[in-house]
Amino acid sequence: MKIYHAPNTRSVRIVWLCEELGLDYELEMFKLGDASMRDPEYLKIHPMARVPALADGNVRIFESGAIVQYILAKHGDGRMLPDVNSPHFSDYLQWLHYAEGMIMPHVNILVVETILLPEDRRNPVNISRATKQLTRALGAVDQALEGREFLAGEFSGADIMTGHACTVAARLGADISDKPNVTAYIKRLNDRPAMIKAWTVGA
């Protein structure tokens, strides 16, 4: 498998997952914003000129959540994925998709408004709204983690997705001081050797 990867992006999720599963992979490295990501050949792999993307034999797939689902279904041998009859299966599906549906849209706004745009073009209303909604989104994660180490029973693909999103949100300055479960969860995940490796590859 080849992972198209840039440090400090969603492609960290895919490297992390492969490290957790002990899968062999090759990296095609980019830096965020590389002009080469807009080359016609790469646009055939990812039409939005972003990462991650995955090449696995004749399969080409992009979008991090879809890649996580694909790898677990194709190469996971039942690991990190609750059985469909498990009482944790619905939790797994919810938190697998929660990252992109509820956390990352607000993270994206904050990245644009506080990092990518020059100061004179930043919109304080957008920043305030995104920060408020991000706080609410992380609050739901905090509630779900009450009495749990992970979101769907055992460590799973749901933690790859939403755990990464929580980490990114905290790194961007989201206030988690009143969210002890999220705070402990982020530390627990970031102490895992596979996640340490994923954050440092190419950085």
Write the CATH number for 43.
3.40.30.10
Same domain as 114, residue 50? no
Domain boundary among 28, 59, 80: 80
CA nearest neighbour of 182 among 116, 129, 134: 134
Please state the pTM of the whole predicted model.
0.95
48 and 122 share one domain? no
Residue whose token pair is 């994925």 = 81
Extract the runs of DSSP E, i.e. beta strands, from 38-167: 53-56, 59-62
Q: What pLDDT sits at residue 202?
A: 77
Whether 136 is in a domain gets the answer: yes
Q: 153: domain range?
A: 89-196
**Cis peptide bond N-terminal to 124, omega within 30:** no
Q: Select from 80, 108, 125 the last residue of a domain.
A: 80
Q: What is the pLDDT of residues 53-81, one digit of tens each?
A: 999 999 999 999 999 999 999 999 999 99
63 lies in the same domain as 161: no
Q: Is the pLDDT of residue 94 over 80?
A: yes
**201 within a domain of the structure (yes/no):** no
Please, are residues 19 and 71 in contact by the beta-carbon 8 Å criterion?
Answer: no
Instruction: Indicate if 21 and 53 belong to the same structural domain.
Output: yes
